[in-house]
Each structure stands twice: as structure tokens, then as C-alpha cells.
Structure 1
Amino acid sequence: MLLTKRHGYVLLKEGKRVSPLPYVFIAPALILFGMFTIYPFLRTIVLSFTLTDTYGNPTKFVGLQMWKRVLTNETFWKVMGVTLKIAAINLVGTFFFALFFALLSSNQVKGSKVYQTMFALPMAIASAPAAGIFVFIFRQKNGLLNSILGTTIAWQHEMQYAIWVVCIVTVWMHVGASFIFLLVGFRNVPTELLESAVLDGANAWQKIKHILLPIASPQIFFVLFLNINSSFKSFAQIRLLTGGGPVNSTKTLIYYIYENALIKGRFETACIQAIFLFLLIFVITRIQFALEKKVVHYQ
């Protein structure tokens, strides 16, 4: 298409004029996106092939040497295993609790507004304060849970309990938003369909399986997408509850990246791990979207 300029406007071949004003308005957003997304991403790739000083400045190009060192490190793969385990527990726990609460709340009954608010309440609390609440609950001395049970268990610092403490807190933090999205999906189901199903003799499980879940499948897909991404990025609760311990049993990849970059000053190692985390989430997301056409039903 032929483009010419005249009096500050872009003229198309057909003679239509397009004002440059929209591009002026979008320019600040593009500049910020480039500064805080594109540039850090490209710099992360560059630093992964170098040695860096404690300030993150490259000092020597080493090619794939650091990649080999990171990918053959036993601790890295142990952390990856912990990351996948915590992500799986969080994904399943968050989804099924949110699904259960949304199904309970999908019918408008007396008092439903109260417990809907209770179910959604966790999403109104930031990660750090939420983790602080659970520090008090799971604390060994004078902790709420130990006071109730009459025990002195170090829930946050014993290997058999620490990972479950992290998962319980993470599920509690994420279930509110998932509950809201699923509830909206179930509320969009036409009442005529449910009434017809009752007249045809369908029981509660059949209504859920053949009506509620298929119609709410776009919301279910979005909730799973949201939780898969957030499960790999759990940080505040691990930082405040366990610090990645004991013996790396709750250390996830995102926490390992933080530890290498900001505590140990190993920026090149942290960059490689960040790229690996990006690729992992990217692959899982692509698989999820590949399955979308088969399992999601848009009205």
C-alpha cells in the first residue's frame, strides 16, 4: 500500500488520512515496555554467557561454560524437583478447593453472600501479610496450632512438614481469585438448562459433569492457566516461612534465583536459572493452549 505524508498526516493510497496522534499516546507505554521488559530480558540472555561481578556487570565472556555448570549441578535439579512438586500440589489444591466452594455458592440461598465473601477474602490480603499470619499459626513456641494441639512441633523447620506448610499457605492465598472466576462461570449457566435436567431425572453429579463444567470451561481454563503460572512464582511465603529450608526442602527455582542474584551475587547463574524457568513455563503454557481447542467450549 502506498503511503505519503502531508500536513502531519499519513495519507493512504485510497486517500484516507490517519492521524499520528494514536502513536504519540501509545509511545510512553511502548517505551516503558521496552525499558522494563524487553531490555531486561535481552540483558538476562547476554549475562548468561558471561561471568559477572557482584553488581551484575559482565566481566568475561565464557560461552556455554556457565550453562554446563548450572545444568550439571545436583542442587539445581533438586530445586527443580521441589519446584514441580510444590507447583503440582498448589495447582491441584487451589483448583479443587475453588471448584468446591464455587459449586456450593452457585445457588443463591439465604446467607450465601456471607460465605462468598469469606471464600474470596484471601485475595484481598497481600502475600507478605498473609505469610505473616501463618508464621504466627505455625510458630513452634506459642504458635496457634501448637497451642490447640498441645504440641511443640517446629512445623516450618522439619522436612516432613515444611513443604506442606508452604503449600497450605499458597493454596489459601490463591483460592480466592480462582473461586471468583469459577463462580462467575457457574452463574452464567442458564437456569432453563438446569431445570430441564432436573425434569429429565439428572442428579447433582450429572448436572455438574454435563452442564456446569462444560459451560464454565473457559473460566476453568483461565483459572488453570493463572494457577500454573502463579504456582511457579511463589516467593513471599517461602521467604518468610521457611527461607527455602530445611536442607533445601522448600527451595523453589524462583527463590534459588533470588538467593543466587541478591544474596550470593552470582548474577550469571541466576540469569541461566531465570531463562530455564521462563522456558519451563513457556512449554507448559503452550501445551495448555494446544489442549484448549479440545477441552474448552465457547458459547
Structure 2
Amino acid sequence: MAPSAPPDTPSVVTPAFLNWPLRDLRAWVRLLVRAEVPILASTAQAIEDLRAREDDIGPADLSPVLRADPLMTVKFFAHVATLRRNDDATETESITSALVMTGITPFFKHFGPQATVEDRLREYPAALEAVQELLHRSARAAHFAMAFAVHRSDTDVDVIHEAAFLHDFAELLVWCHAPTLMLKIRQAQAQDPALRSSVAQRSVLNIELDDLRQTLLRLWRLPKLLIRISDGKHADHPSVQNVVLASRLARHTMKSWDNPALSSDVEALSKLLNASPRVTLAFLHKVDGSSEP
């Protein structure tokens, strides 16, 4: 089921794949708020396994399952937002606290068996491979972001970790709806490693995925702190810089540490961490070595 759309936007069945770009950001948003949001097959199966023993589990059992899937995380937070009054000043900023608020039985009642990314992209193995790579990159970014936040003694470590993990959820959604267009972007960047992602996205999709992410986060009324920390176009706050740099470093070091863009990333991170570039690079290697395979 799709996260709730505005009252005048009826939910519809997920449309066929797009082979041509939509006109603008408004058109992309209209498509995605109406469409089903698929989740990972592993998440869907884990939810069904827990559903079978619904009376014996609590938020601590369900929370790790939802938190491990960026699409399910967004989908759940969007649902939670619909349960709040518009004038409600309080927000749940963690999945566990949101589950405590909603309750386990209402969760399972609202979220029946879920459509999956793997089923959606069954006929597009190259796109599914790209999605798996993107998920690995998101986990890597979250690992970097948490390490930076702990080093800085930041008070919002969990939200920073979550923001970095969710950084690419809009890209995941577009892969699910327009795999041929996303493969076109991938091919263009493979042919020209210097091609900036934002330029390639505007050329092929008529939008930048960062704009799509922020619009959907606001429309689905995710926690305000999470939205603010996710907004890389206003990176004047250390927490935002943390997420931006973690995501950038995850992308630039996915395959090796020889990416020419790495030096500028390290220079920017050294300023955030108040350390020399040499010390910062050593710290990055240490953090990378401590990540789980």
C-alpha cells in the first residue's frame, strides 16, 4: 500500500514502467504519491513471520525489521503522520517510539502482505542489481554518518544515521518505476566518470533526485528533524554536512579509494571533524574497516 497522498489525490494501482521522463517535479511527485511503494522481499517475509506470532512480539522485535529497509521506513513514517492531528506539535522521531504509539496489532492490520522490489523488477535484472548496490551504499553511508556523529559528540546520532540511510530512497523509488531511464543515467556516468549525478538526472529525468526526496519527505510529513538534516542544499548545519559527506564518501569509495573526487571529500570532512586531512583519511579507513561485510 502507498503512503497516504493528499486528500484530493486518490491512490491507484502502480502504473506500468516509464520509458519516457515526466515533465517536471510536480508530475513525478503526483506519480509516486499515488503508486504502491514496494519494499524489500526480505522485509516482507520478516513481517509475515512476525505476523504469525503477533501476540508474542513488541516494538523491539518489529523495529529492526522496518529500520533495515529504507522504503519500509519511509512508508511506515508516512502512515504514522496520518495518525497525528495537523496541530500536533509532538513527533515520533524513531521507529520504535512510533510503533509504541501505533501498537503492534494496528500495524499488522494496516500493513498487509507487501509488494516487493524484487517482484517489481523481476524482468529487469540489471536494475535489480543496481538497487542492491544502492542499498549497500546507503548502509555504508549510514555507517560513516554515525561514526562522524559519534566523533563530534552529536546529540542527534540516531537521526543522523537514519537520514544518511534514507538519503537515496527517492532514487530507489525511481528505479522501481523507471528502470530504463535510470539505466540510461548509469550508462552515461560510466562513459563519463566526471559527469555529475545532478546533471545526468536533469538530462534524463527532468528533475534532480535530491529535490524529489525532500519534496516527498515533506509531503509524507516525516519527522521535521529528519527532513532538516536530509536537506543537502542547505548544508550550513554540521549535522547536514555530516549526512551529505557520508553519502558522498560512500558513493566515491564503493569500489576503491582511488576516486579523484575523494580528496575534496576528505578536505571538507577534515573541517567538519576539526582534524588534518591526513588524520581524517586515516580515520575514514579505520571506520571503513570496522563496517560489517
Q: Into which bin does the TM-score normalised by the smaller protein fall?
A: under 0.3
Q: For the pair shown, which has the larger CA radius of gyration, 1 or 2? A: 1
Q: TM-score, normalised by structure 2?
A: 0.25
TM-score, normalised relative to structure 1: 0.24
